[in-house]
Amino acid sequence: MTRLHLVRHGPTHAKTMVGWSDLPADLSDTKAIARLSAHLPADAVVISSDLKRAADTATAIQGNRQRLPHHMDLREINFGTWEMRAFAEIEAEDPELCFAYWDNPGEVRPPSGESWNQVRARVDAVIDALIAGHTGSDLIVVAHFGVILTQLQRALDVDAQQAFSHRIDNLSVTDITRRRNRWTVGRINHRP
């Protein structure tokens, strides 16, 4: 059995599509960070995306826990030419593609970006390797909205559109357990 504690990084306060842009997290809510760190298992292993908003959040909650090197494949969705643009601007430019991307996630992708299925395959591979290397452990994975939703989709065995119906707040934790070939989901979007 391996338990995943999927933590969304601290807020960036950006009002645009933020995927691979390396924005910092606002980690000024030290009480929320302390509650989150105290909630997580003390003997867990910590890993994060290599983007500073996730890496810095992982450092803030790490405490005395073992830390693995950052992993690029735990990055958020690559939004390509939509990166750092407002949703309304993207929708006005290409309403059909924008609607298709969000309403029917799968193979549709933003120009020069990733499809949902590509993100899911990338993240699944990292999580599978982490589980194989740390069977029987608690793993704290500090990452992004899209990364967490890929694993919820997988564990709940739902389609991408259903996965997108879940809210994942900054500094929240979503718990997923893997027992042999069976997934179970605990709390989703828990704010300690």
Per-residue confidence (pLDDT) for residue 103, from 0 to 100: 85
Sheet bearing 138-143, strands edge to edge: 66-67, 45-48, 138-143, 2-8, 173-179, 182-185
Which tens digit of pLDDT belongs to each residue from 90-144? 999 999 998 899 888 889 999 999 999 999 999 999 999 999 999 999 999 999 9
What residue segments make up the domains of the chain, in order of their start?
2-185
Q: Residue 78: pLDDT above 90?
A: yes
Per-residue confidence (pLDDT) for residue 60, from 0 to 100: 98
Per-residue confidence (pLDDT) for residue 23, from 0 to 100: 97
Q: What is the pairing mode between strands 45-48 and 66-67?
A: parallel
**CA 51 – CA 26 distance, rounded (Å):** 14
For 2-185, the fitting CATH number among 1.10.150.530, 3.90.1150.110, 3.30.70.1070, 3.40.50.1240 is: 3.40.50.1240
**CA 170 vs CA 61, 74, 103, 115, 133: distances in Å:** 13, 16, 23, 23, 27
Q: Give 77's contacts (C-beta < 8 A, 6+ positions apart).
A: 19, 113, 114, 116, 119, 144, 146
Percent of the chain past pLDDT 90, that is, above it, reads 93
